[in-house]
Amino acid sequence: MEVVKTDIDGLVVLTPRVLQDARGYFVETYKEPAFHKLGITTRFVQDNESRSARGVVRGLHYQVPPHAQAKLVRVVVGVVLDVAVDLRKGSPTYGRHAAVELSGDNKRQLFIPRGFAHGFAVLSDFCVLAYKCDDIYHAESERGLRFDDSALAIDWRIPRSEMILSEKDLRYSCLSAVPAADVQIVC
């Protein structure tokens, strides 16, 4: 597995080995001992999958402690711009984001530690996105950031007029309004 560290500590892009022949391909997307060797000792307890159309922007979502979530995100079909925003109190990269193109073709995965908001924009006709979480979904712990917060300056690579957004995502506040209790503490 190829590992590329981002400019944000703990946030890494993983590209698994793909075995391909005339029949198709095989890829091992997760094997606990291999991830442990890479220093990723997260224990995943929930898998999620979503299908979205071109122009959909989901996020930026996170869960607050004690139900914060680490995620391992990948795209099965299609192309997305996957974005993670550092919300870890005391982090030198607090408020910064990393954006990675994930696709069914490149097989890249993004490991997002606890303490990050997460979102994605669909760049292909549709996508199927799958991700593992290290805590189950808790509606009462869910929070979010505005996708268009000027302080984050995220280029979603989709014109605003073509974005498809949920009412919930449109109601989220900017980073400057995130309550101190929502912020993770860097260990």
pLDDT, tens digit (0-9, with 9 covering 90-100), for 11-64: 999 999 999 999 999 999 999 999 999 999 999 999 999 999 999 999 999 999
C-beta atoms surrounding 134 within 10 Å: 16
Per-residue pLDDT at 183? 72
Mean pLDDT of 73-84: 98
pTM: 0.94
Residue 24: give its domain's CATH number: 2.60.120.10
Whether 123 shows a pLDDT value over 70: the answer reads yes
Where residue 178 falls among pLDDT bands split at 50, 70, 90? confident
Which of 129, 98, 91 has its CA nearest to residue 112?
A: 98
Please name the amino acid found at residue 75: V
Domain hosting residue 33, numbered range: 2-185
Cis peptide before 66 (omega within 30 of 0): yes
Number of domains in the chain: 1
As annotated, the active-site residues are 61, 131
Per-residue pLDDT at 187? 42
Please name the amino acid found at residue 167: E
